[in-house]
A and B are shown apart, each in its own frame.
Chain A
């Protein structure tokens, strides 16, 4: 009797494991298919005997992506944009977030309320207005224009997320340092910033990932291919029913995704604490 119960339990567990293995495989099919196509030498796409393991292994598609297309140029553009956006975002958001967290001044609550409301506004909706405003200023089709748009769009999030984290740091530490005669600047640099490091890292990462993934402004505002970001470039490489090469596009997708995947899995734990403490979730 007891034996039979044990057997049944074991069979159930085996079924559960099988279920999850199948589920994981089904979930990963689009990614696995892209991987296999990108490594496959034969152009066997139109034949029906397809397998998830490439028949003839090759790196040609990757060579084509890295050296045949402008991807290195786009990578440079993206890196330049990302670094300037992260630097400006943090430089602008940290002092503001600190003031909103620690100081009390007229208009503070009104701004905080307005920020909550602004956060629900999808940026795509005002894109035309932004375009029309930036064009006479010569900021359309220029990197400075994109930096302005990206930092502005992420400014609400950065300010709110950092302020939320500053709120969780006890004030007592700063008060003690103040009694010892430290200036506000020293106090922020030596006490607050080191304590807020997780949140600063996560905020910077979110800006970085946003710039890395943003394609709609990048394709609408930039016309020359030499100014494209990675996202806009990949968008232009995609294989349609008519044109483009699916294996090259698959290889390019993998190349573009890898850095984001690495960052995501390295910072997974940070992500949760750095985001939840601020009270905002992506």
Chain B
């Protein structure tokens, strides 16, 4: 979403403002036409955020549903300065999760897209279509299929294979590290098709004559990749990569459905920020504290997107 383009379009038009009365009529009709949409957004999106901000200043929980008190910034203090509150470790885990996922995703997608672009590969289209399936399936269905079909300790495929190899069955989702790895695998499975598509499109847009002259000059594969391919695709894949960083950071479904489902927790303590917030709101019913974390995450996301906007501008 580029605000930059928006501004540039704005200025020349405002110079030829029509007469006052006409402008007033335009303004009136514009407000009237956009009112339903904006009221809806106000009611369902903006007001709950403000209300979350208000709850975050209270001690509202399941015992104080109506008779809660305003306790100031205590909830924020607890989240930020109490080392074992869980917020800081969830934040660290989320950052680690984002970095690991993004690095693997970018490298694997780049390699696969490059291989798909080798000229003499004839069945490229078939492979591409088959590889799109994880993207096309409804996300939560795929995650639940992974949970039961692959990781389940009785009828999961992984344990059937372990049994065949004469090994003991493993409870894949019950310890922190293996749950983290399982979640990463599922997340990569879900996210790679989109990234491969983006990389593929970017690679196809490179002018082939660059490579020909580079080969004539005796440049090897590595040299060509570093000096031609990467600089050319960088601006093209940039926006998609930024969007993916955000969705990875905000990931909820994978972690929640695999390990944290209400009533079916697997025993792993791996949390991303969002699942941590959810747990505090709906499992341990600590509404004030959970709201404080929500606001902190929102601020964090705002700072991120503002920074990315600055970078995009420069």
A96 to B120, CA, bound (A): 50
Whether the Cβ atoms of A105 and B26 lie closer than 8 Å is: yes
A50-104 interface with B by 8 A CB criterion: 50, 91-93, 95-100, 103-104
Report how far A97 CA is from B41 CA in the complex, Å. 13
Q: Which of B6, B131, B148 contacts A238 (CB 8 A)?
A: B148
Question: Does chain B have a CB within 8 A of A1?
Answer: no
Which residue of the partner chain A has the closest CB to B60? A132
- Residues on B with C-beta less than 8 A from A117 are 302, 305
Instruction: Determine the distance from Cα of A113 to Cα of B150 in the docked complex, in whole angstroms.
Output: 44
CA distance A164 to B2 in the complex (A): 10
A122 and B140: CB pair below 8 A? no
Point out the residue from B6, B47, B112, B240 that lies within 8 Å of A109, measured CB to CB.
B6
Q: Which of A19-38 contact B (CB under 8 A)?
A: 19-20, 23-24, 27-31, 33-34, 37
* A132 and B282 alpha carbons, distance in the complex (Å): 12
Interface presence of B27 (CB below 8 A): yes
The secondary-structure label for the interface of chain A is helix
Which of B112, B148, B163 lies in contact with A249, CB distance below 8 A?
A: B148
**B130 to A24, Cβ gap below 8 A?**
yes
* B252 contacts A124, C-beta separation under 8 Å: yes
CA distance A103 to B33 in the complex (A): 11
**CA of A253 to CA of B128, assembled, Å:** 23
A13 on interface, CB distance cutoff 8 Å: yes
Q: For residue B59, which residues in chain A have a CB less than 8 angstroms away from its CB?
A: none
Given contacts A33-B157, A128-B281, whether A98 and B33 have CB atoms under 8 Å apart is yes
Minimal Cβ-Cβ distance residue in B for A24:
B130
Main secondary structure of the interface of B (DSSP, over half): helix
A155 to B37, CA, bound (A): 7
Residue of B nearest to A162 (CB): B37
Give the nearest-CB partner of B39 in chain A. Answer: A92
**A133 is an interface residue with CB less than 8 A from chain B:** yes
Closest CB-CB distance, B45 to chain A, in whole Å? 6
- For B86, the chain A residues whose CB sits under 8 A away are none
Give the chain B neighbours of A142 by CB distance below 8 A. none
- Asked if A280 is an interface residue, CB under 8 A from chain B, the answer is yes
B residues in contact with A13, CB < 8 Å: 120-121
Q: Does A120 contact B149, Cβ atoms closer than 8 Å?
A: no
Residues of B within 8 A of A103 (CB): 26-27, 29-30
B250's partner among A108, A122, A231 (CB-CB below 8 A) is: A122
Let me know if B141 and A125 touch, CB within 8 A: no
Pick the contact of B3: A24, A113, A128 (CB < 8 A).
A113
Q: Tell me if B311 is interfacial: C-beta within 8 Å of chain A.
A: no
Residues from chain A with a CB closer than 8 A to the CB of B152 are 239, 241, 246
Contact between A241 and B51 (Cβ–Cβ < 8 Å)? no
Q: Could you mark each residue 107-133 of chain B with 1 if its beta carbon is under 8 Å from any beta carbon of chain A, else 0?
A: 000001001101011010001011111
> Which parts of A198-219 form the interface with B (CB within 8 Å)?
209, 212-213, 215-216
Q: Which of B17, B264, B281, B294 contacts A240 (CB 8 A)?
A: B264
Tell me the bound Cα distance from A96 to B31 in angstroms.
8
B48 to chain A minimum Cβ distance, whole angstroms, is 4
Q: Are B148 and A122 in contact (CB under 8 A)?
A: no
Residues of chain B within 8 A of A216, CB atoms compared: 252, 256
Chain A 219-238: CB-based contact to B (< 8 A → 1; otherwise 0): 01000000000010011001
Q: Which of the residues A27, A105, A268 comes within 8 Å of B130, measured between beta carbons?
A: A27
B136 touches A152 (CB 8 A): no
Q: Which of A48, A120, A125, A155 contacts B160 (CB 8 A)?
A: A48
B270 in the interface (beta carbon within 8 A): no
Q: Determine how close the nearest CB of chain A comes to the CB of B191; give it in whole angstroms.
A: 12
Q: Tell me how far the C-beta of B142 lies from the nearest C-beta in chain A, rounded to whole angstroms.
A: 7
Which of B30, B33, B44, B142 interacts with A153 by CB under 8 Å? Answer: B44
What chain A residues lie within 8 Å of B139 (beta carbons)?
Answer: 213
For chain B, residues 201 to 229, give those with C-beta under 8 angstroms from any C-beta of chain A.
Answer: none
Which one of A20, A132, A158 lies within 8 Å of B127 (CB-CB)?
A20
- Are B164 and A48 interface neighbours, CB within 8 A? yes
Chain A residue contacts of B34, Cβ below 8 A? 95-96, 99-100, 111
Tell me, yes or no, whether A176 is within 8 Å of chain B by CB. Answer: no
Residues of B within 8 A of A280 (CB): 1
- Contact mask B262-294 → A, CB, 8 Å, 1/0? 001000000000100110011000010011001
- B27 near A106 (CB under 8 angstroms)? yes
Determine whether the beta carbon of A155 is less than 8 Å from that of B40. yes
Residue A179 at the B interface, CB < 8 A? no
Residue picked from A97, A99, A118, A235, most chain B C-beta under 10 Å: A99
B residues near A153, Cβ cutoff 8 Å: 44-45
Please determine whether B40 and A151 come into contact, CB atoms closer than 8 angstroms: yes
Chain B residues whose C-beta falls within 8 Å of the C-beta of A109 in the assembled complex: 6-7, 10
Decide: A19 and B115 in contact? CB cutoff 8 A: yes
Q: How far is the CB of B227 from chain A (nearest CB, A)?
A: 25
Q: How far is the CB of B139 from chain A (nearest CB, A)?
A: 6
Given contacts A121-B49, A127-B281, A152-B41, 13 further A-B contacts (CB under 8 A): A9-B120, A28-B130, A30-B146, A33-B149, A91-B36, A96-B37, A126-B45, A128-B290, A152-B44, A209-B138, A261-B133, A279-B1, A281-B239
Subset of 25 A-B contacts with CB under 8 Å: A17-B121, A23-B131, A46-B155, A100-B34, A103-B30, A109-B10, A113-B3, A115-B41, A116-B3, A120-B304, A124-B274, A125-B298, A128-B55, A128-B282, A129-B49, A155-B44, A164-B1, A167-B9, A238-B148, A241-B154, A249-B144, A257-B138, A261-B133, A265-B129, A279-B2
